[in-house]
Amino acid sequence: MRCDRSDAGLVEKLDMAIGWGKSFEEQVEEGNQRISAHERELRLPPEARIRQKRLETLNLSKSRMLQQLERAKHKAHRDVLMKGLAAIEKEIEDVLRE
């Protein structure tokens, strides 16, 4: 096999890319897992996909609300955040019961 300068540069780049963190095999496996998760999601009925996306959105909102609550200094602001958090948690429960 012939190796010219452009091939050597490519090999160096590949070695460097692989050298930074995970091995190539680990990266391929993670990619396969992401594809598998996506395929599983596509196999779900549309109603289940909508429900799953709604739960993801609600959980993201809940985590943002909790972060804001940690930083809130004023009682009035904390009260508003607590009411919002309670509403999100209730909606999560409602979606889970469907």
Report d(CA 63, CA 29) in Å as an integer. 29
CB 85 within 8 A of CB 66: yes
Helix axes 46-71, 75-97, angle to 10 degrees: 160
Give the pLDDT band of residue 93 (cuts 50, 70, 90): very high
CB 91 within 8 A of CB 59: no
**pLDDT for 84 beyond 90:** yes
Please state, for a pLDDT cut of 90, what percent of the chain lies above it: 47
CB 96 within 8 A of CB 55: yes
Q: Which amino acid is present at 77?
A: H
- pTM (two decimals): 0.57
7 to each of 2, 11, 23, how far by Cα in Å?
Answer: 9, 6, 21
pLDDT of residue 1: 46
